[in-house]
């Protein structure tokens, strides 16, 4: 396959990130951590290759769940932070699935983020 025929490659494992629902980059974008102006400059990563983020996903479509060990494990973090982070990340992960399954009207990339972050970037 020609380089131009490949999608985004994971900065950790080097494999192609085939679906938006596997993308750490787009999850961080929809939850407001990446500015739309820098999205194209930011490296891609599989969610499973980014356990510090993906450990917060509690969704049956993300199976098996990721468990992180060590200093940045959920068990080592402030419970209020964990609850807040899990809520945001799970809303963002659900948004990735809504984007992936959207069939009625193609969305622009600027419409991907959660509503409060669309407003933030305007």
Q: Which token pair is 90?
A: 């799970």
What is the pLDDT at residue 118?
87
5 or 88, greater pLDDT: 88
Q: 23 and 112 in contact (C-beta within 8 Å)?
A: no
For residues 4 and 89, what is the distance between their CA atoms, to the nearest angstrom? 31
- Average of per-residue pLDDT values in the chain: 91
**Could you tell me which residues are beta bridge partners of residue 9?**
16
Sign of CA dihedral 21, 44, 68, 35: negative
Q: Report which of 27, 94, 28 is spatially closest to residue 59, judged by C-alpha positions.
A: 94
**Could you tell me which residues are beta bridge partners of residue 44?**
10
pLDDT of residue 13 exceeding 80: yes
108 or 3, greater pLDDT: 108
> Alpha-carbon dihedral of residues 79, 80, 84, 86, nearest 10 degrees?
10
Q: Which token pair is 17?
A: 């990130």
Predicted confidence (pLDDT) per residue in 54-92, tens digit: 999 999 999 999 999 998 999 999 999 999 999 999 999
- Rounded to two decimals, what is the model's pTM? 0.90
Q: Which token pair is 39?
A: 């999205």
């Amino acid at each position: 396959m020609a380089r131009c025929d490949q999608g985004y490659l994971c900065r950790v494992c080097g494999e192609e990130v085939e679906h938006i629902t596997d993308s750490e980059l787009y999850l961080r974008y929809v939850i407001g951590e990446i500015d739309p102006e820098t999205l194209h400059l930011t490296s891609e990563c599989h969610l499973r290759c980014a356990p510090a983020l993906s450990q917060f996903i509690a969704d049956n479509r993300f199976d098996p769940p990721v468990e992180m060990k060590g200093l940045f494990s959920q068990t080592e973090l402030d419970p209020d932070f964990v609850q807040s982070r899990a809520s945001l990340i799970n809303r963002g992960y659900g948004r990735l699935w809504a984007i992936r399954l959207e069939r009625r009207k193609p969305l622009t990339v600027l419409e991907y983020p959660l509503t409060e972050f669309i407003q933030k970037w305007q």
